[in-house]
Amino acid sequence: MEDDSTHLEKSESQHNMMDGEERDPESNSLHQPLLKRNRTLSSNPLALVGAKVSHIESLDYEINENDIFKHDWRSRSKVQVFQYIFLKWKLAFLVGLLTGLIATFINLAVENIAGYKLLAVVHLIKKKRYVIGFAYFTGANLILTTVAAVLCVWFAPTAAGPGIPEIKAYLNGVDTPNMFGASTLIVKIIGSIGAVSAGLDLGKEGPLVHIGSCIASLLGQGGPDNYRLKWRWLRYFNNDRDRRDIITSGTSSGVCAAFRAPVGGVLFALEEVATWWRSALLWRTFFSTAVVVVVLRLFIEICSTGNCGLFGSGGLIMFDVSDVVVRYHVLDIIPVTIIGIIGGVLGSLYNYFLHKVLSLYSIINQKGKIHKLFLGLSVALFTSVCQYCLPFLAKCRACDPSITEACPTNGRSGNFKQFNCPDGYYNDLATLLLTTNDDAVRNVFSTNTPSEYTMTSLLIFFALFCILGLFTFGIAVPTGLFLPIILIGSAYGRLLGIAMGSYTHIDQGLYAVLGAASLMAGSMRMTVSLCVIFLELTNNLLLLPITMMVLLIAKTVGDSFNPSIYEIILELKGLPFLDANPEPWMRNLTVGELADAKPPVVALSGIEKVSRIVDVLKNTTHNGFPIVDEGAVPPGFVVPVEKALHGLILRAHLLQALKKKWFLTERRKTEDWEVREKFNWVDLAEREAKIEEVAVTQNEMDMYVDLHPLANATPYTVVESMSVAKAMVLFRQVGLRHLLIVPKYQAAGASPVVGILTRQDLRACNILTAFPHLARSKKDH
Amino acid sequence: MEDDSTHLEKSESQHNMMDGEERDPESNSLHQPLLKRNRTLSSNPLALVGAKVSHIESLDYEINENDIFKHDWRSRSKVQVFQYIFLKWKLAFLVGLLTGLIATFINLAVENIAGYKLLAVVHLIKKKRYVIGFAYFTGANLILTTVAAVLCVWFAPTAAGPGIPEIKAYLNGVDTPNMFGASTLIVKIIGSIGAVSAGLDLGKEGPLVHIGSCIASLLGQGGPDNYRLKWRWLRYFNNDRDRRDIITSGTSSGVCAAFRAPVGGVLFALEEVATWWRSALLWRTFFSTAVVVVVLRLFIEICSTGNCGLFGSGGLIMFDVSDVVVRYHVLDIIPVTIIGIIGGVLGSLYNYFLHKVLSLYSIINQKGKIHKLFLGLSVALFTSVCQYCLPFLAKCRACDPSITEACPTNGRSGNFKQFNCPDGYYNDLATLLLTTNDDAVRNVFSTNTPSEYTMTSLLIFFALFCILGLFTFGIAVPTGLFLPIILIGSAYGRLLGIAMGSYTHIDQGLYAVLGAASLMAGSMRMTVSLCVIFLELTNNLLLLPITMMVLLIAKTVGDSFNPSIYEIILELKGLPFLDANPEPWMRNLTVGELADAKPPVVALSGIEKVSRIVDVLKNTTHNGFPIVDEGAVPPGFVVPVEKALHGLILRAHLLQALKKKWFLTERRKTEDWEVREKFNWVDLAEREAKIEEVAVTQNEMDMYVDLHPLANATPYTVVESMSVAKAMVLFRQVGLRHLLIVPKYQAAGASPVVGILTRQDLRACNILTAFPHLARSKKDH
């Protein structure tokens, strides 16, 4: 957790009794003083989904204005500035290119593996060898799941799950460890292929977003941690600000590759993932997604000649309904509203139950790696059994001769699966279940086929995928949320379409599309980006107005019940995400009161003894320390009268000073050239060092370090009387890691810093733990 | 201008000599101290386009944490909070509804007025009565222009021009006066109808954006200034933050109404207009545009039955090319690149020349109102003459029998105008010129008509609209930039299409669309929003990848020459717009140095004498004053040792205190209830008062005012050693009006505030005037 939290946790137990006392409901909060001392803010010890997150640092998005940075910046030539800009564009290009290529590879692999698997099964079924078919189908799926799960459990735990919440947290300033490494990338790619080919109820969309971000991060830092390229010009990107920008591009490219939606990708990153946004970033991100689209288009052209094995029209063009004439009149507003409301209600129910299932899973997953693996395999087994056996419940239906499409089909894809039926008949449930998820979506979206599915089959399909959608997401393979939600949503959309019958002018396939959109909005709570993604997916602009209506209604309904699914997962994972807007009750609390509830600030002198630095680094987990200069002691006083805040020094930089043995034998200021000789800003970008690795001799312990040149001389400060709401606006808008609190009235000899605020301190749940009366006032209000 | 500028201008003359001395190119900037005293920052006395902007205030987006605000906020009940949220949505709905209705009205009026005018002219030409036709055409156009110009010149000068730059400035925090009033709205509507019907080279798109913002602003404040509704719940919106949000909705609705592009409208506001953005705003804005689309669609359905006079398919559906099959292969990348490059070059040339023309016009316009009117009329006369006479230069062309469309047409709209030709022939230049601009765009975009236009006709069309586009924009009528640029761009696009001949697979009409897109990107420098607007306009998703490429290339090329057209106009108008990113050289300057270059801060005591307040208000133009509390004078000292910064008080609130005669006979602190009895926050939202209107008797002059409860107790502060770059990030991200500079080391008795930064102080051009050596270092770099 960030900075002070571990420290806080230790001291929390001491105050538990007092906490309990003050939470007494009898005590009237109105008569209590606002200011409560001796209370500590606790971190949020919530259950973690999947991987154990041990130590999450915050990112430094603030410009660290210390002497070295200033000197380095001034010495940059015009050519270097140009190199830097050129490189940014080159990286954006590479991110798009590689994401496009990897998306192509995943699509090819999935379509071929799943395709040959299904072909063999269909073959066996045609020969009525049902049991062998079942064994083959289930066995293949279990093997594929095992590959994915073993990789995720043993080699890269962070590759499990969708990854989007962690990316969202990263762009908010939370650095989840091992999130963007090379092993994560490789496991994610292979695991995603395995899991999707295994027919599990999950998509490759979420993983592709994570893959895009991994590529971006690896490119930005010049390769994986251990084999990093040390190219000179890459050093410009060795800072959190530029990494943030590249990862934003990567996220957009991933969404673009998943849905072939370049504008939707940019907007998804903007609306859902990114916390800070600049218009220059908009442009560069757009460039990345344009590259992805070009790559995908090239690949489709190449594959259209049949060079890609079983890859036909599958995989990429998910559901093109551009040839459908959309007609609707004013009365169609009623079913559209109903879809929106259902989407909102079901979406929030889905969020609610998914929360429960994930909490349950985290208990199972904590028991060990084998448990994780078996959990995944059980879900895969259940999925396979249902997919194979349920179609036998459906009756065979005669092919409609008026439809031009082939019926029945025996191939891998196609709209009217023969399954166990005689020639001239098809099994509508097998069409939906015994196929890849992408094909299932395409089949349920199919237009101009009003009598293809029976109500019963669609109800079974809907119920099955509700169950699978809840129980598949938490297993230890790369999972995506988009496809399960689209499947559930399209099922009830099409059901409603059938129920409306001739009362509506809208095609059943479009009802399915609207249902999918409504459930996405009801669960993920996005509007503009979803609208554009659906626009680009369905390739039909005439759908726009009704899609907008459905999305707005579903989001409104959903928001009145619970937060979005990503926010729920973020909270489950215990990631200290900082919301955009302060809670209203934060206006009733000043940062001074907040600082009083924390342990006192650990400050260092401008020229500090080595022993004190080592002591401080060993005994605290703080990542930033204010530097306070003490003036001389005037005659007649015992303490220095004038203390002044010089700045803030980061733990990493203190460690660098110790590691480089940059010690002085006497208490004096260093010269500029001395600093520059020892440090350049490549050193200062290094963050990996630990205090345990630094050896300092007893002799050196009595020496001094001049911390002035290493400190950020201009940290952002707020006065202690400022409300938490206002401080939070500053913290989040500017993207800070530490915010110093200065006293309103400076008494002689008093410290010029009364507290430090970090991300954890500004989170609503943490403040409410320390100030429970605010929660009460919140309810009263 | 903001705050200190007028004050600065006064003192600037005193320092001119010194300035001149220091601008001496011989003096070596390296040996000069960074800190230069006795220099002042000047405001930017640039020429103003159109209206004279006398006094521009900044907006208060910061939460003003004073006692009254806090008390009022705490007393709000849950019902009131709900009312507030409900009202926000209701306003978003009303903004969309009214914008949609007014857009409908404008379209109906324009199509009918221009339609009957053109029908009569066509009728006269068919009878070969060319001179009377000319007189009628020119006369009608001049009368329509006169109506528009007289209204704009005499009744609402701010209604002239597009309004988008001022909206952009407003959302950045610059309150241009009279921009969003009722008279502006009415003049804009009527003026826009007149100017567009007169066939001038301008569109209704820009004005519609301004109209949307006016509606939003008027709704938000409950009506026009003089007849404002005093509904209780509307008081919640009487603050700059909520007005900003509503106006953003209005802007999006306006763009949506102009192009029938709901997503494009939202993105336009996001990418081009808005400075701050929240995801809640994204959603509400999206709702507004959805309402606009529904209104427009209803209106089209009603008009499709022929109830709307001459309004046929014109006006709204600008260029639907959804039925065109777009085919392109890899080699088509070459013409697409060429279009992009031409767009970038021409776009920046257009910006360059428009700047020159506007500077020239501002000299003419300053001569008086009659001059403005005559300028407008001359342009209208020139336009009419060209539109009527140039088609005579074109040869009549035989109708192509293979084309199903009616040829020749004599009606108002249609693709093959007969004009002076015999039956069976058409005049291609008349098709482009003697029609409404909307129809001209539709005609030049027309697809599957490869041989319709000759190169010569298109060249004449291109040249004419280049000239008209430059000379029409600055006249005193409501003008839009979109349509002139689309016309120019489509002309060269189609020319390139003809030149490519059979080497390309892309239709000439699509070339025209791409040309229009490229010139928009080359001049306005938007990417994502333009892409989506063109997507929604052309209704063809297959165009997306090449549109993206064209836009990216055009913007890149354009950016290497000059800034976007909106930035140029903002600078011409002298609006103190604050850019998103600080200039690199701003890292070399500290805010302390900046403060030293300004006159000393005028501070007030916590309990201040009335005479001093009156004196300060009369003799300065500052809008914010720091409140400094002075402690008691300790024994042995002559001045108080402990001075502390209490906060910042706004000029408007000082005036309120004087107006309400809130005086104390002795120097004492007031009680809470005393304050609440006199003030509520509705009073504090009032900003209109002037010091000249306040009468204070001689007796009262000796009394005191306790300023503590009125002051914002928690202004944002920075330490004097912070770089300007970093302070600017804070200023712009948080949306400040005043930023206080506090000393790094507080000496006994020294002021706790060393300066105040305002918007003007942080503008690059102003800083460079005071620190010319930075400009040199900028060049060296």
pLDDT in tens, B557-602: 999 999 999 999 988 888 888 887 888 788 888 898 888 888 888 8
Q: Which residues of A touch B717 (CB under 8 A)?
A: 717-719
Residue B8: the pLDDT is: 35
> For residue A16, is pLDDT > 70?
no
- How many angstroms separate the CA atoms of B419 and B434, rounded? 9
Say if A717 is an interface residue toward chain B (CB within 8 Å). yes
Orientation of helix B455-472 relative to helix B333-366, angle to 10°:
40
| Architecture (CATH level 2) of domain A581-780 | Roll (3.10)
Two tokens, residue B753: 């505030």
Does the distance separating the beta carbons of A531 and B81 come in below 8 Å? no
Predicted TM-score (pTM) of the model is 0.85
- How many angstroms separate the CA atoms of A171 and A269, rounded? 10
- How many angstroms separate the CA atoms of B438 and B202, rounded? 10
Nearest CA in chain B to A274: B279
Question: B90-575 maps to which CATH number?
Answer: 1.10.3080.10
Residue B99 sits at the vertex; the CA angle it makes with A338 and A272, to the nearest 5 degrees, is 55
pLDDT tens sequence across A669-714? 777 777 777 776 666 666 667 788 888 888 888 888 888 888 888 8
Does the distance separating the beta carbons of A536 and B541 come in below 8 Å? yes
**Residue whose structure tokens are 């729920």:** A568
> For residue A150, is pLDDT > 50?
yes
More confident residue, A327 or B654: B654
Two tokens, residue B192: 């826009």
Residue extent(s) of CATH 1.10.3080.10 domains in chain B? 90-575
Candidates B528, B559, B646, B751, partner chain A, best to mutate (most A CBs within 10 A): B528
Q: Is A369 exposed, middle or buried (0-12, 13-18, 19+ CB in 10 A)?
A: middle
Q: Which residues of B touch A713 (CB under 8 A)?
A: 721
- How many angstroms separate the CA atoms of B459 and B496, rounded? 11
Reported residue count of chain A is 781
B279, B587, B729 ranked by CB distance to A73: nearest: B587
Buried b (16+ CB within 10 A) or exposed e, B322-346: eebebebeeebeebbebbbbbbbbb
* Sequence-separated (6 or more) residues with CB below 8 Å from residue B98: B215, B219
- How many angstroms separate the CA atoms of A535 and B721, rounded? 51
Q: Which residues of A touch B751 (CB under 8 A)?
A: none
B190: pLDDT confidence band, cut at 50, 70 and 90? very high
Residues A372, A375, A377, A382: what is their CA dihedral angle, to the nearest 10 degrees? -170
Residue B303: the pLDDT is: 80
Residue B33: asked if its preceding bond is cis (omega within 30°), the reply is no
Q: What is the CA radius of gyration of chain A?
A: 29
pLDDT tens sequence across A736-762? 888 999 887 766 667 888 889 888 888
Nearest CA in chain B to A530: B263
pLDDT tens sequence across A382-427? 999 999 999 998 888 888 887 777 777 776 667 788 888 888 888 8
Say if A572 is an interface residue toward chain B (CB within 8 Å). no
**To the nearest whole number, what is the mean pLDDT of chain B?**
81
User: Could you give the 3-state DSSP secondary structure of residue A608?
Assistant: strand
**Residue whose structure tokens are 């790559």:** A295
Please check whether residue B253 is in contact with residue B292, taking contact to mean a CB–CB distance below 8 angstroms: yes
- How many angstroms separate the CA atoms of B669 and B607, rounded? 7
Say if B322 is an interface residue toward chain A (CB within 8 Å). yes
Does the distance separating the beta carbons of B722 and A719 come in below 8 Å? no
Please check whether residue A357 is in contact with residue A471, taking contact to mean a CB–CB distance below 8 angstroms: yes
B441: pLDDT confidence band, cut at 50, 70 and 90? confident
Residue A56: the pLDDT is: 64
ipTM of the complex: 0.80
Does the distance separating the beta carbons of B294 and A545 come in below 8 Å? yes
Residue extent(s) of CATH 1.10.3080.10 domains in chain A? 77-303, 330-572
Residue extent(s) of CATH 3.10.580.10 domains in chain A? 581-780
Q: How many CB pairs under 8 A join A and B?
A: 171
> For residue B538, is pLDDT > 50?
yes
DSSP labels, A138-198: HHHHHHHHHHHHHIIIII-GGGSS--HHHHHHHHHTEE-TTSS-HHHHHHHHHHHHHHHHT
Residue A4: the pLDDT is: 40
Residue A53: the pLDDT is: 34
Q: Which residues of B touch A279 (CB under 8 A)?
A: 271, 580
Say if B198 is an interface residue toward chain A (CB within 8 Å). no
Residue B765: the pLDDT is: 82
Q: For the sheet with B643-650, list strands across it.
A: B604-605, B624-630, B643-650
pLDDT tens sequence across A52-91? 333 566 777 777 777 777 776 667 777 877 888 888 889 9
pLDDT tens sequence across B232-291? 666 667 778 888 889 999 999 999 998 888 888 988 988 888 888 777 788 889 889 988
- How many angstroms separate the CA atoms of A95 and A89, rounded? 10
Residue B634: the pLDDT is: 61
- CA proximity to B722, closest of B740, B749, B746, B748: B740
Distance from CA of B581 to the nearest CA of A (A): 9
Nearest CA in chain A to B591: A714
Domain spanning A77-303: CATH superfamily: Clc chloride channel (1.10.3080.10)
Candidates A285, A322, A716, partner chain B, best to mutate (most B CBs within 10 A): A716
Please check whether residue B584 is in contact with residue A84, taking contact to mean a CB–CB distance below 8 angstroms: no
Residue A564: the pLDDT is: 92
> For residue B12, is pLDDT > 50?
no
- How many angstroms separate the CA atoms of A437 and B677, rounded? 68
DSSP labels, B55-98: -PEEP--S----HHHHHHHHT--HHHHHHHHHHHHHHHHHHHHH
The H-or-E segment that residue A572 falls in is helix A565-572
B323: pLDDT confidence band, cut at 50, 70 and 90? low
A553: pLDDT confidence band, cut at 50, 70 and 90? very high
* Sequence-separated (6 or more) residues with CB below 8 Å from residue A145: A194, A195, A198, A200, A376, A377, A380, A477
Question: B5-42+581-780 maps to which CATH number?
Answer: 3.10.580.10
A74, A713, A744 ranked by CB distance to B721: nearest: A713
Say if A266 is an interface residue toward chain B (CB within 8 Å). yes
CATH fold label, A330-572:
Clc chloride channel (1.10.3080)
- The residues facing A590 across adjacent strands are A723
Residue B228: the pLDDT is: 63
Chain A, window 79-108: residues with a beta carbon less than 8 angstroms from a chain B beta carbon = 81
In whole angstroms, how far apart are CA A193 and each of A91, A134, A174? 26, 22, 29
pLDDT tens sequence across B475-519? 999 998 899 999 999 999 999 999 887 777 778 888 999 999 999
